[in-house]
Amino acid sequence: MMNGVVVFLMVVVVANAQTSFQGRCPDVQTKRNFNLKKFSGKWFEAERYFGGIEKGGKCVTAEYNLRRNGRATLRYKLIDSIYSPSIEAFGKVSKNDPAKLSFHFPSIDVDSPYWILATDYKNYAVVWSCAEFESYDYSIRGAWILTRSKNPTSRIIQKAYSALDKNGISKIYFVQTNQTNCPLN
């Protein structure tokens, strides 16, 4: 009984940040020869799967950095949210696939995969997250289109959409992120 309650609470916490689906996580291809150092820096969130943690949020940015010890950091910022305006996470890079990052968010005590599916490092990136609850035939999924520009061109967004299509990830669940009237920093 206690295990069922713990799993239910875990699903509620994780589902608040991402979109829930019946079934297992789909097989996806990560960015070949991914370079976290080139990927590091500030990204603007252009679109995302709807997630409760971002409800009411705008001006969303994600800043990835590679630390000297080989670990990754993620500083996630948003404004006008019912949650904290800034969440910091500390991550690990998979030894087998450097495009598979795993972040721990201490403020909400959640671990989450962040897989880089596609990026050209200068304009766009597609980030994917999926966690399975096999005994319940259930998965929690998140997807983000990140751009270096606050107002990306449609050509840049189309490149991201192509990566989603290539991986069979539905675009129907995406919502556009409001990046208007944002502070300069």
Q: What is the pTM of this model?
A: 0.83
Q: Kindly report the CATH class assigned to 2-20+33-176.
A: mainly beta
* HSE value, Cβ hemisphere, 13 Å, CA-based, for 99: 19
For the residues 122-145, what does the mean pLDDT come to? 89
pLDDT of residue 166: 96
- Those residues with Cβ within 8 angstroms of residue 172's Cβ, 6 or more apart along the chain or in another chain: none
Residue spans of alpha helices (H) in the chain: 2-15, 36-39, 154-166
CA–CA distance, 38 with 124 (Å, rounded to integer) = 12
For the residues 82-88, what does the mean pLDDT come to? 60
Q: Given its phi and psi angles, is residue 33 left (phi above 0), alpha (psi -120 to 50 degrees) or beta?
A: left
Span 34-43, pLDDT tens digits:
999 999 999 9
Domain ranges of the chain: 2-20+33-176
Q: Are strands 138-147 and 174-176 parallel, antiparallel or unpaired?
A: unpaired
Instruction: Output the average pLDDT for the chain.
Output: 82
Rounding to the nearest 10 degrees, give the CA dihedral for residues 12, 18, 20, 23. Answer: -120
Cα 81 off chain centre by:
17
